[in-house]
Amino acid sequence: MQHDFPIRVYYEDTDLAGIVYYANYLKFIERARTEWVRGLGIDQGRLKAEEGIVFAVRRVEADYLRPAKFDDELTVVTRPEAVTGARIVLDQSVLRGGEMLFQAHVTLVCLTDTGHAARVPPELRLKLGPAVH
């Protein structure tokens, strides 16, 4: 179940050379993850308020392959790879047309509001679908 999130590069996203500053790719993939979860029908605000559960990034392995530049139209592709007891593993890519510019392997953990590990809620596991194990 792939999720595509369009994004345009603004001047504020670039450095003096006119290319996207490396840390901004992490912002791009964060926005895409938020929209991916929203698209699954999960309200993260409600999840925190009612169940005391939040998601946090535990690990990111990132490869910067090609530079994006001011005014580029990009697509962030999010693909879930696995869901375990308290973790969600995603593959996220940033593309310009068919060209991959950035790729990240992201591990999210489910935490309580006190910072302890928590199980991924059953409704989220169901919404991820049977293809993710």
Tell me which residues are annotated as active site: 15
If you search the block for the tokens 């973790």, which residue do you land on? 87
If you search the block for the tokens 């007891």, which residue do you land on? 85
Please tell me the distance from the alpha carbon of residue 7 to that of residue 73, in angstroms, as a whole number.
6
If you search the block for the tokens 């309580």, which residue do you land on? 112
- The residues with which 55 forms a beta bridge, in sequence order, are 110
| Two tokens, residue 75 | 């697509």
- The residues with which 112 forms a beta bridge, in sequence order, are 53
Tell me the residue ranges of DSSP E strands in 1-133. 3-8, 53-64, 73-83, 87-96, 99-112
